[in-house]
Amino acid sequence: MDLNLAPQTLPTVDGNFEQYKGELIKLVDSYKDKPLTEETVAPVKSALRQMRTTLEKMESTAVSAYFDTPKKILKAKFAELYSIIAEGEGKVDAVIAEDTRKRNEATAERLTNYIKSKIAGMKLEPDVVDYVVLEKSYFNKTAKEIEVLNSIDQTLVQLEKNFVSYNRATKKIEKLAKELGPAFDVARFLYGLSKYEDCNDAIASLAEEEAERLITAVPEVAKKQQQVKQAAVSDVVIKTVSVDFTVIDKKKSKGSDDMVYIFTVPKEAKKNFADLIRELKEVGITSKKA
């Protein structure tokens, strides 16, 4: 039906507002009773938006034809009609919000279960699940499953590297504390470590720098360190490992496989380890630093 107005009647505005309001309430109520889902709500939302647009056009045309006092009355009447539409829009938005919440919860649970299954074969602890950020883009309807899982895999690989460096740094700092005694502030460096953040190697380096400073600046530390070195030299055991590798012709080779290992090499053995890497390279086995 159309909304009819009698223009410029003072001091009231005549028209069929009450009848129009009744029809509008009936129409909005018909949408309220429908069982809506996120999939079926679109046409309802569109219809409500069209009602609002129609009213806005009517209001714009009608208000321009009235003087100040009738304009205020007219705006109040239109505001009442808008509130009816807003009530319907509120239900539609609530349906969308609830369905979105349920979908997001299901997605989060599915991805969390995937993460738990992945870490079973990695050098990680169960609490790493809390450190994998489920990005907002993962919950988009258009998100591609393979891309989401690849992103999570990359995150887990980085967290694993950080965790390995955390364990390595912890052992290094505790060893320095044992060698240097109370002069070395072990708590300061252990406190700075983080299981899954990319800061552990840097903190371990700072701890080594502090150890070198103490050995130079604090006489009792230097004395203790010298005793440790002497004891280590007297107890040192040299073990020779010999493995024969056949030199492979690249043209006749069946190809190669990537094998990932992480070596923790004592400073005293770095030179010997470098010699080993060179010997491997000579027989066609290459390596790269992480």
The span from the CA of 71 to the CA of 68, in Å, is: 5
The pLDDT, as a whole number, for residue 202 is 93
Mean of pLDDT values over 126-144? 91
The predicted-structure confidence for 75-106, as pLDDT tens digits, reads as follows: 777 888 888 888 888 888 888 888 889 999 99
The pLDDT, as a whole number, for residue 3 is 67
The predicted-structure confidence for 142-164, as pLDDT tens digits, reads as follows: 889 999 999 999 999 999 999 99
The pLDDT, as a whole number, for residue 204 is 93
The predicted-structure confidence for 162-199, as pLDDT tens digits, reads as follows: 999 999 999 999 998 888 888 888 999 999 999 999 99
The percentage of residues in the chain with a pLDDT greater than 70, rounded to a whole number, is: 77
Tell me, what amino acid is at 87? E
The predicted-structure confidence for 103-128, as pLDDT tens digits, reads as follows: 999 999 999 999 999 998 888 899 99
Question: What is the signed CA dihedral for 1, 48, 68, 11, rounded to 10 degrees?
Answer: 40
- Buried-exposed string 258-282: b where 16+ CB fall within 10 A, e elsewhere: eeeeeeeeeeeeeeeeeebeeeeee
Query: What token pair was written down for 139?
Result: 């919950």
Intra-chain end-to-end CA distance of the chain, in Å: 74
The pLDDT, as a whole number, for residue 156 is 94
Name the band, by pLDDT with cuts 50, 70 and 90, for residue 54: confident
The pLDDT, as a whole number, for residue 97 is 87
Residues forming a β-bridge with 14: 6
The span from the CA of 6 to the CA of 228, in Å, is: 104
Q: What is the pTM of this model?
A: 0.53
**Which range has highest mean pLDDT (55-69, 72-86, 275-289)?**
72-86
pLDDT at 251 over 70: no
DSSP code per residue over the chain: ----EETT-SSS-EESHHHHHHHHHHHHHHHHTS---TTTHHHHHHHHHHHHHHHHHHHHHHHTTS-HHHHHHHHHHHHHHHHHHHHHHHHHHHHHHHHHHHHHHHHHHHHHHHHHHHHTTSS--GGGGGGS---GGGGSTT--HHHHHHHHHHHHHHHHHHHHHHHHHHHHHHHHHHHHGGGS-HHHHHHH--SSSTTHHHHHHHHHHHHHHHHHH-HHHHHHHHHHHHHHHHH----------PPPPTTT--------------GGGHHHHHHHHHHHHHTT------
Mean of the per-residue pLDDT values for the chain?
79
